[in-house]
Amino acid sequence: METIVIIVFLAGYLAITLEHNLKIDKLIPALAMMAILWAIIALTHMDVFEVNAELKQLEPTHLEEILLHHLGKTAEILVFLLGAMTIVEIIDYFDGFATIKSYIKTRSKRKLLWIFSILAFILSAIIDNLTATIVLITILQKVIRDRETRLWFAGLIIINANAGGAWSPIGDVTTTMLWIAGKVEAGSLVTRVLVPSIVCMVVPTIIASRFKAFSGLVDIEETVGGSKSKYGPTMLYLGLGAIVFVPFFKTITHLPPYVGMMLSLALVATFAEIYSNAKFNISSAIDDDHHESAHHSPVHSALTKIELPSILFFLGILLAVAALESLGLLFNYAESLNQAIPQTDIVVMLLGIGSAVIDNVPLVAASIGMFSEPGDNPLWHFIAYSAGTGGSMLIIGSAAGVVAMGMEKIDFFWYLKKIAWLAFVGFVAGALVFIAMRDFIF
């Protein structure tokens, strides 16, 4: 039966990878794969196990217990992401991200490249790489009219957003997964991965800045502007600050990160309602015919815009990987892999390269079940870096790449030819820096 389980898993994976060819949203095969895998386990009464990290061995358990355990761990991640996504949408409700446009004063393409690269690196560490990419490409479309030039900028934004998300516990779904699972601590993750991530960002940007595509000037006179709402800047800084507060809350209280995220959401939502009501009252005073029903809650509006398909995809893929972990397949595979390739660094780098072909979320979920090293081991920091930045090598290898592909209609082969090698050079450069720092500094 294990062979059938693996076939179902691989078939589901293939459907996810070929999402654009099949024209079927990846959440559908992810959910179907998850349900079928657990149904096979239940109907055939297959033995399930949990991994004892201390003894590095499998221990038998009951199906209901292990399923509830994995559901709980998955729910922690999903609730955290829901909170973060809602805060970001509340900021957008007040047009807060338009404030970022005020930083764009230059007409030089090369300087614009560095501005967008640095913004992508910093923003992705705070509001996650997916959202940072959406925000920056939206601004990019208003700053640069020439599509060919925009494609080059978008390619570098993808690389730099993924690099920025790798060193922050809230910057990428994979690092959030490792953080919530207790595999990395926020402080040590930043300390060990920040410099390699900077190298991964700087090296491709330096190389690209020499290209003809980034020479010359652009006309940005009509594109620079502030927020349409007077509360936009306030909500931007409040929202970003609330998200950054979450790791500190976890450190102080030792509670799961989603608890802090819910507190941050409550705080941001409170101010959003206050500002929205103030705006509504002013409008009502001006227009006596203004009805109460015309007032829309910014929180309700934000909740209608969050990426629920992404949440359902994570639910399906994480519980599907959990099924393989519960059968002991990942544990046994890790043992075989370690015997075949004794050098763990090579294994982790291959995992990073693999994340460009296969979504990095299931790969990291699998690695959590494969490796039994204790929390905050350098292995987990290297996995966070590799999975976070390796996906940049293909346009479909990361959430940032996929959303950029949709927004700018970037051709898969154009990206493969023009951008992939830059991402690979940055990935390898950062990986070598990480290994050097681990071996000679920490």
Q: What's the chain's length in residues? A: 442
Q: Are 80 and 180 in contact (CB under 8 A)?
A: yes
DSSP 226-256: --SSTTHHHHHHHHHHHHHHHHHHHHHH---
What is the b/e burial string over 220-255, where b = at least 16 CB atoms within 10 angstroms of the residue's CB? Answer: beebeeebebebbbbbbebbbebbeebbebbeeeee
Quick one: pLDDT at residue 221?
A: 47
How far apart are the C-alpha atoms of 391 and 353, rounded to whole Å?
7
Nearest Cα residue to 101 out of 231, 225, 239: 225
Per-residue pLDDT tens over the stretch 418-427: 999 999 999 9
Distance CA 38, CA 48 (A): 11
Nearest to 201 by CA among 166, 226, 172, 169: 166
The predicted structure's pLDDT at residue 279:
63
Task: Sort 343 into a burial class: Cβ within 10 Å, 0-12 / 13-18 / 19+.
Answer: exposed
What DSSP string describes 166-224?
HTSTTTSHHHHHHHHTTSS-HHHHHHHHHHHHHHHHHHHHHHHTTSGGG-SB---TTT-
pLDDT for 227: 59
What does the pLDDT read at residue 219?
A: 64
The three-point CA angle 363-374-377 to 5° equals: 75
Dihedral pair phi/psi, residue 124, rounded to 5°: -65, -30
* Global confidence as pTM: 0.75
* Token pair recorded at residue 182: 């207790």
Q: How far apart are CA 189 and CA 179, in angstroms?
A: 9
Low-confidence ranges of the chain (pLDDT < 70): 51-57, 219-228, 279-295, 334, 338, 342, 358-359, 442
CB 116 within 8 A of CB 140: yes
Helix axes 147-166, 378-390, angle to 10 degrees: 170
d(CA 406, CA 132): 15
The H or E element containing residue 339 is helix 329-340
The C-alpha atoms of residue 256 and residue 265 are separated, in whole angstroms, by 15
What would the pLDDT profile of 29-62 be if each residue is shown by its tens digit?
A: 989 999 999 999 999 989 888 866 555 667 888 8
- Report how far residue 429's alpha carbon sits from residue 432's, in angstroms, rounded to the nearest whole number: 5
Kindly list the distances between the CA atom of residue 54 and the CA atoms of 70, 83, 358, 380, in Å, as whole numbers in the listed order: 19, 33, 30, 16
